[in-house]
Copies of this chain bind each other. A is one copy, B any other.
Amino acid sequence: MIAGMSDTLPAARQLRRLVADRLRRGILEGRLTPGTWLRQEQIAREMGVSQMPVREAFRELAAEGLVVHEPYRGVRISSLTLADVRDVYAARAAIEALAIRAAATEITADELGTLRQLAAKMKRRLAPKHLAEYRDLNRQFHTVIFKASRRPYLIRLLEQLWTAFPAMLLDSFRKTAATPLPDRDTDDIAEHEAILEALSRHDPDAAEAAIRVHLEETVRHLTATLDEETPARALAEPLALAAGERSR
């Protein structure tokens, strides 16, 4: 058992966590574009901290794969192609499938209750204007499930996969950001309920099948939408937190 998994979220009382979160968001939301060098001094200045927390944040992001580190040169934002996005989902699907099998037998009535509540809330949050909230609920939904597996290692891995590439990543793709869940909403809901139902019956096979369908559909829909606007993350203007671009 991997101890200390609690995750009580006293959260960003550490500077480096704060910096990491901010950078992560910048990257995932597409404000910081792939290929850009992240200069520790500049970022430190912009965020009003010293270089050290920035450096530590870099380490964290590198471990998650959001940036790549080049010794004595710095870190730069990784470029994700559509293929990578597919792989992220595929990997997550594979691991979530493992987790949900365990969850099916381990999940408590309590947790099933929360899942039902989450599913219900999501139904009411379909409007585009609630998109961010919807995504958050979706993540919670999946999180409750894989935590119910009671398998610390899988949980840790999945948490890593989710924080590095939450649905938010999609914001960096133009059309997806514009048309949130076109025609996907109702299917999404139905799939969630299928998962929920399988879990209620404590049926591992059904649960695994259900989540596989769900994730496959999601990625299928996603790639279909994205294929149309091939140059992934073509746009994404640097905003507030624009990192150093000059040739050095």
**Residues of chain B with a CB closer than 8 A to A35's CB:** 3
**Residues of chain B with a CB closer than 8 A to A156's CB:** 65
* Stretch in A74-82, A110-118, A220-228, A236-244 touching the partner: A74-82
A145-182 interface (Cβ within 8 A of B): 151-154, 156-157, 160
Residue-wise, chain A 87-120 has the 8 Å CB interface mask toward B (1 for contact) of: 1101100110110000000000000000000000
Are B3 and A68 in contact, CB atoms less than 8 angstroms apart?
yes
Are B153 and A4 in contact, CB atoms less than 8 angstroms apart?
no
Q: Number of A residues contacting the other chain (C-beta, 8 Å)? A: 42
Copies in the complex: 2
A60 in contact (CB, < 8 A): yes
A59 in contact (CB, < 8 A): yes
A70 in contact (CB, < 8 A): yes
**Residues of chain B with a CB closer than 8 A to A79's CB:** 1-3
A48 in contact (CB, < 8 A): no
**Residues of chain B with a CB closer than 8 A to A153's CB:** 65, 80, 84, 87-88, 91
11 cross-chain CB contacts under 8 A: A1-B80, A2-B84, A4-B68, A4-B70, A63-B160, A65-B156, A65-B157, A84-B151, A87-B153, A91-B94, A91-B154
